Amino acid sequence: MLTAQQQLFVQAIEDLDLDQVTKLLADGLNPNFIDLEKGPVISVWSDGLFKWWEDVCEAYEANSPLSHEEKQARLDIHLQILEALIQAKVNLHLWDAEEIYGPLWDAASAACVPAVQRLLDEQVNPNTKDEDGQTILTSISDLFFDCDFDEINWSEALEEEKQTLQLLRDHGAKMTKELN
């Protein structure tokens, strides 16, 4: 059972309420707890990235893509909350027990290059495997393109997808078959 302060913290992350997040952390709240329904706090944060990515994709599908500035403006609050969590020593290496995915997988699946970069800067392992034994690079390539990284037709990729996968690769991410 979460304490009232922990419940408030989870709600603040979901509401993208940076002031409340930073206040609770400044008051000494340890961000390393697990909401039994939503997973670790870092998973609650990464769930918010999916909404950002859905908005970006919907704009592409409507033939009115968001500008770089619009994407960044919408993303900024997510990155500020991530930074607050990192400064509070949140465990970035926890994986959601139910879904077997971690924050790097989540950020990559949302094609969020700045979040992927920040997590890599914190030494999150880009070669962690999911419950199916797939590396993040293989799993995300399959998610985006239904194939492995070395088979992607880059002309079909959104710029965010390409940059995300290339960033992972540049930081030593391997395809599952390269590690087996």
In this prediction, residue 159 has a pLDDT band, given cuts at 50, 70 and 90, of very high
CA distances to 17, 105, 131 from 10, rounded to whole Å, are 10, 20, 26
Q: What are the structural domains, with CATH classification, of the chain?
A: 4-179 (1.25.40.20)
Q: What is the pLDDT of residues 83-116, one digit of tens each?
A: 999 999 999 987 655 555 789 999 999 999 999 9
Instruction: Note whether 44 and 35 are within 8 A (CB).
Output: yes
Instruction: Note whether 171 and 164 are within 8 A (CB).
Output: no
For 4, other C-beta atoms within 10 Å of its C-beta total 7
Q: What is the pLDDT of residues 121-134, one digit of tens each?
A: 999 999 988 878 89
Q: What is the pLDDT of residues 42-73, one digit of tens each?
A: 989 999 999 999 999 999 999 999 999 999 99
Q: What is the pLDDT of residues 12-52, one digit of tens each?
A: 999 999 999 999 999 999 999 989 888 889 989 999 999 99
